[in-house]
């Protein structure tokens, strides 16, 4: 039966046999432990048997060969670029002096979060105007309430006198003239009430418009509802915050650039911060003129990056350039990729960063394939291409066998096996170096144990 190799042998078989052996030592050992060359069903035939402990130490992983889809692909070099639709240049609404800086390079920013604080004379004047108009409005509303009460009482009094004169007239006690005079005073009181209230209400309405205009100006100058609420709540100390403006982020992102220092005077044309939303990034590839007919919007793409060789990002073509570069004769193909918040081996959020290099594999055509494997299961050695199959298993260990196969590219890091493998076969995908080394040692006649 096939030889079992000790754990130490698994780590050294790729080297030159057993260091320190004297010439002729093999013959003596072979005489004690069996023939030096294994038969066709042993290591010399590409068979290896590992114990359970050896299997775990070697890190062997397997998968079952199965049908899948194979694709004809077009591979293009690519580079990650910023998503211009998710960039934000933060500029101030009013000129002012930088009094504090709340966010630094590389820090994440939520929508509405404060980036810096300015002191602005123009804003101070606008806030003062808003406060004045609000104060006048409150006073006018108080006048309106008083006028309603006072003029209402006058009308009620005139109505009381009219009712009395009408009663006296009906009893033939009072005169008709007194009745008519009371009736006239009641009508005049009503008219005076309506005229005065109309006048005061018009004043209230004018001040409401003035307050709304002053508030709109403050919003244009960069004050949010929260800022206005804070100023209302602290109007007794308003002088301290009259000229203070908080510059906030209009959208979430990461601070990738900052152009201000404390005490600096900034204008409305100055860019204070540059924010990038990295949740989605653009990957831009170049396709040459001869291949341009193969590319279309919505086409499936598999993106790999040099920084993360073991990761693949599935996406679609979002744009095919409308013109070609005059020198390279290539058009830009834009691919929008969702940036994961977490990735193995990367501790920061959104690992895909602008400037990274990689490749984009465009799916041109898909077809059904009888057997599809990950490329990691394939061993290329000179002209030979082979896989290792799990061909036996018992309580003591597992037996693997090398099997030559023919493969073609299936896209996205996979291959289609066209010859040498049937669906359902159990194929090794990890630990291939150990199996290959052990099999090679057997072919060279080194399949002895110590």
Q: Encode pLDDT of 40-50 as tens digits.
A: 334 345 777 77
- With cut-offs at 50, 70 and 90, classify the pLDDT of residue 315: very high
- With cut-offs at 50, 70 and 90, classify the pLDDT of residue 168: confident
Span of 56-70, 183-197, 337-351 with lowest mean pLDDT: 56-70
377 DSSP assignment: G
For the beta carbon of residue 336, count every other beta carbon within 10 angstroms.
16
Mean pLDDT within 210-229: 83
pTM above 0.75, yes or no: no
Residue 139 predicted with pLDDT over 50: yes
343 DSSP assignment: B
Q: If you search the block for the tokens 């650039």, which residue do you land on?
A: 257
| Residue that wins the pLDDT comparison between 79 and 164 | 79
| Residue that wins the pLDDT comparison between 198 and 58 | 198
What does the pLDDT read at residue 270? 94
Q: How far apart are CA 161 and CA 154, in angstroms?
A: 11
Q: Encode pLDDT of 230-250 as tens digits.
A: 766 655 555 556 788 889 898
What does the pLDDT read at residue 238? 54
Residue 4 predicted with pLDDT over 50: no
Which helix (H) or strand (E) segment holds residue 66: the answer is: strand 66-81
Span of 61-65, 261-265, 437-441 with lowest mean pLDDT: 437-441
What does the pLDDT read at residue 20? 40
What does the pLDDT read at residue 281? 92
| Residue that wins the pLDDT comparison between 27 and 415 | 415
Are 182 and 161 spatial neighbours (Cβ–Cβ below 8 Å)?
Answer: yes
Are 141 and 114 spatial neighbours (Cβ–Cβ below 8 Å)?
Answer: no
* Torsional sign, CA 253, 258, 259, 262: positive
3-state secondary structure of 326: coil
- With cut-offs at 50, 70 and 90, classify the pLDDT of residue 15: very low
Phi first, then psi: give them for residue 382, nearest 5 degrees: 60, -130
- With cut-offs at 50, 70 and 90, classify the pLDDT of residue 102: very high
């Amino acid at each position: 039966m096939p030889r079992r190799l000790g754990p130490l042998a698994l780590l050294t078989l790729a080297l030159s046999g057993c260091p320190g052996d004297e010439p002729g030592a093999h013959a003596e050992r072979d005489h004690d432990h069996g023939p030096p060359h294994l038969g066709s069903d042993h290591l010399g035939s590409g068979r290896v048997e590992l114990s359970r402990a050896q299997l775990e130490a070697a890190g062997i992983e397997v998968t079952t060969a199965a049908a899948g889809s194979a694709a004809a692909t077009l591979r293009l070099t690519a580079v990650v670029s910023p998503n211009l639709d998710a960039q934000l240049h933060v500029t101030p609404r009013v000129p002012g002096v930088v009094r504090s800086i709340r966010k630094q390079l590389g820090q994440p920013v939520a929508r509405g979060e404060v980036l810096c604080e300015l002191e602005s004379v123009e804003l101070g004047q606008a806030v003062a105007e808003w406060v004045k108009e609000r104060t006048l409005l409150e006073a006018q509303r108080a006048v309106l309430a008083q006028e309603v009460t006072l003029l209402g009482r006058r009308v009620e009094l005139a109505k009381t006198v009219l009712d009395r004169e009408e009663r006296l007239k009906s009893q033939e006690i009072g005169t008709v003239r007194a009745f008519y005079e009371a009736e006239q005073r009641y009508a005049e009181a009503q008219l005076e009430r309506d005229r005065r209230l109309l006048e005061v209400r018009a004043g209230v309405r004018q001040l409401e418009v003035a307050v709304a205009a002053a508030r709109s100006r403050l919003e244009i100058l960069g004050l949010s509802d929260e800022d206005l609420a804070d100023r209302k709540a602290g109007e007794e100390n308003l002088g301290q915050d009259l000229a203070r403006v908080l510059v906030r982020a209009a959208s979430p992102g990461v601070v990738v650039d900052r152009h201000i220092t404390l005490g600096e005077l900034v204008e409305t044309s100055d860019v204070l911060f540059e924010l990038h939303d990295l949740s989605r990034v653009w990957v831009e590839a170049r396709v040459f003129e001869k291949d341009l007919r193969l590319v279309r919007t919505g086409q499936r793409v598999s993106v790999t990056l040099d920084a993360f060789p073991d990761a693949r990002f599935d996406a679609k073509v979002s744009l095919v350039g409308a013109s070609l570069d005059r020198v390279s004769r290539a058009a830009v193909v834009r691919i929008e990729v969702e940036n994961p918040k977490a990735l193995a081996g990367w501790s920061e959020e959104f690992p895909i960063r602008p400037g990274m290099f990689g490749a984009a594999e465009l799916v041109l055509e898909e077809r059904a394939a009888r057997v599809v494997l990950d490329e990691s299961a394939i061993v290329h050695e000179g002209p030979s291409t082979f896989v290792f199959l799990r061909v036996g298993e018992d309580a003591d260990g597992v037996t693997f066998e090398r099997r030559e196969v023919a493969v073609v590219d299936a896209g996205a890091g996979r291959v289609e096996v066209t010859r040498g493998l049937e669906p359902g076969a159990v194929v090794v995908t990890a630990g291939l170096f150990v199996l290959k080394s052990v099999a090679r040692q057997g072919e060279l006649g080194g399949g002895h144990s110590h």
